[in-house]
């Protein structure tokens, strides 16, 4: 069995891995339907070389959501 601190580290590493290897199948509806982020995620595989960068407020909002989710998970563990 793993200690709680090891489990947290493993879970955070897993989340970071998923974020680095983004897949639409793993996204919730809010993320998939977000036009700027959806275009950015799809632009890697498309033939178009146009780079789509979401506004910084959108990035901040997404990071805030991720942080809040992680804080909720940590709160449930303690």
The H or E element spanning position 32 is: helix 29-32
Higher pLDDT among residues 47 and 17, named by residue: 17
What's the domain range around 58?
A: 4-77
Residues of the chain with pLDDT > 90, as a percent, come to: 0
- Gap between the Cα atoms of 13 and 10, Å rounded: 5
pLDDT in tens, 53-64: 667 777 888 888
| 52, 38 Cβ separation under 8 angstroms | no
Of 1, 2, 11, the closest CA to residue 73 belongs to 11
Give this prediction's pTM: 0.33
Judge whether residue 38 has pLDDT over 50: no
- Gap between the Cα atoms of 11 and 3, Å rounded: 12
Q: Which residue has the tokens 């990035």?
A: 59
Residues of the chain with pLDDT > 70, as a percent, come to: 49
Structurally, how many domains does the chain consist of?
1
């Amino acid at each position: 069995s793993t200690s709680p601190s090891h489990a947290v580290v493993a879970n955070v590493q897993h989340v970071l891995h998923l974020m680095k290897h983004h897949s639409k199948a793993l996204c919730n509806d809010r993320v998939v339907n977000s036009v700027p982020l959806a275009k950015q995620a799809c632009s890697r595989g498309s033939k178009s070389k146009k780079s789509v960068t979401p506004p910084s407020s959108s990035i901040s909002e997404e990071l805030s959501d991720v942080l809040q989710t992680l804080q909720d998970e940590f709160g449930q563990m303690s």
